[in-house]
Amino acid sequence: MKSLWKVLWVTSVFVLLPFHTSASPAHNDRPGTRHAKGYICVGCVVVVSVIEQLAQVHNTTVQAAMERLCSYLPEKLFLKYTCYLVVHMFGPDIIKLLSAGMKADVVCHALEFCEQVSGQPLCHLYPFPKVAWKFTLEKARQIVKGSPTLKYSRSSSDICSLPFLAKICQKIKLAIQNSVPFKDVDSDKYSVFPTLRGYHWRGRDCNDSDNMTYPGRRPDNWDAHQDSNCNGIWGVDPKDGIPYEKKYCEGSQPRGIILLGDSAGAHFHIPPEWLTASQMSLKSFFNLPTALTNELNWPQLSGATGFLNSTSRIKENSIYLRLRKRNRCNHRDYQNLSKNGASSQNLETFIESLSRKELLDHPAIVIYAMIGNDVCSRKIDPVPEMTTPEQFYSKVMESLKFLNSHLPNGSHVILYGLPDGAFLWDHLHDRYHPLGQLNEDVTYDQLYSFLSCLQVTPCHGWMSSNQTLRTLTSERAEQLSNTLEKIATSKKFTNFDLFYVAFDFQEITKKWQQRGGQPWQLIEPVDGFHPNEMALLLLADVFWNKVQHQWPHILGKENPFNPQIEQVFGDQGGH
């Protein structure tokens, strides 16, 4: 029974409680720690809220609402099966508590998924009940007193401690930790598998049994006999005996795009339909397995390296797709080396996942975009945790020296500034969060306070009602941006030139308003923190236009043979 509990508990936390993946600075939250318990609390409140609202929307019992939620989940990754197990174990207690009129946060405190830390304020999402919280919580605890589920630890052992999962868990952990593909037969850092750091993150391998065949390399013998750089252009023109790669790509200045970023660059995204009972259907969770195996990121739709058609219905494309359109020889040459929680201070832990050989590969455009975690912290007092300009300068220089020793000559590195994140509070604090829209009972102010209380907020400095704290956070972000600009204008490297581009959210906000939109529509609705897909593509548009206007040589030539490449090779094997 204990082994079943481990599998059931930890699996349910991972798959059903999406807030477990945070965008705050990278950390190792082991089961049982304050922060790990905080994620569990948030997840519980989210799931119980959805159950309660499903019952309300469909005018059914809580039992029927739980079964409805499970029926929506896909069978992949045992999601549906795990959901039914969770309902079997916790369903009776949840039914009793919700039937007694308890809100989701009270339910989760009573079931000990949330805990009251001695000397700390009580963390709650919903407004306090009309009667005293202490009385309400005691009543809830009496309702579930003696429940068999309460005897199990809420900080169960790591599922990877189970012998039959240890090996596969270790491989997955290393892939995520080191930002390299989980499935990579020839160990060239490229994969034929989409997720788990596969081709959603970097160009798809076209021969996973040959580590000298991968996107971005200079062609071997002009790819007369095979496609050594995976851009879909190979073979010999029978009319004149000239290899197509030589005919169409020689002198066109091919180059790739590489992003060194954080969760914003990876496009962290939790679809609002996962939490909105009135919109939930069988279609809502079809992409949940993909999202989970991409760490709740969507790099395939990101502003820098996205290659799929945008779901946001705007005309702008990613930087990669623009580079590809400019020169079809750039096909598949992208790498998104972004990571949740990444900052200048921990980039060294995964920068070696970069795949570029100084002598064998084409030059690359590298965008350094650590835009938040150097000033963002989940701590109650985040200011001492912020990276100082001196620390920032030192770590950025370390990263640039690494790039100089790995990038081919003729590459370009662009340092991307930090935003003024005060716009988050300004545009969201009094709006209703997706969990609060049905009954108008949860604003972003309440969400921010709840996450900060649990110390799992992605950025207490900007997601705070304290205006002084928000100002201090913005001032430090400006100092770090100034440091980047200073480096870009004063430092020289042998293998690349260096540039600085400001993060101008005001400019994209203005563009969006000119189209009839509102600023809050550019922010991820579930976490209330990240730029959403529309914002990322608008930022890519501003970035591209600035580079094209000021430093067009960074982008390389427009290839006059693009029509011929398309005529002969079609979509070049797709992505």
Active site residues: 263
Burial of 101 (C-beta count, 10 Å sphere; 0-12/13-18/19+) = exposed
Residue 154's nearest CA partner among 15, 51, 12 is 12
Burial of 169 (C-beta count, 10 Å sphere; 0-12/13-18/19+) = middle
Quote the CA–CA distance of 514 and 318 in Å, as a whole number.
21
Quote the CA–CA distance of 267 and 123 in Å, as a whole number.
28
Question: What are 364's strand-pairing partners?
Answer: 256
Q: How far is CA 478 from CA 386, 389, 421, in A?
A: 12, 10, 11
Quote the CA–CA distance of 539 and 368 in Å, as a whole number.
15
Quote the CA–CA distance of 540 and 96 in Å, as a whole number.
50
3-state SS, residue 331: coil
Lookup: tokens for 575: 């992505």
**Which residues make Cβ contacts (< 8 Å) with residue 32, sequence separation at least 6?**
155
Three-state SS sequence of 504-528: CHHHHHHHHHHCCCCHHHHECCCCC
Lookup: tokens for 9: 């508990």
Handedness of CA 317, 319, 325, 331 (dihedral sign): negative
In this structure, what DSSP letter does residue 361 have? B
User: How far is residue 46 CA from its own chain's centroid?
Assistant: 19
**Which residues make Cβ contacts (< 8 Å) with residue 241, sequence separation at least 6?**
none
* Contact indicator for 432, 442 with CB cutoff of 8 Å: yes
Q: Give all strands (DSSP E) within 10-96, no chain letters.
A: none
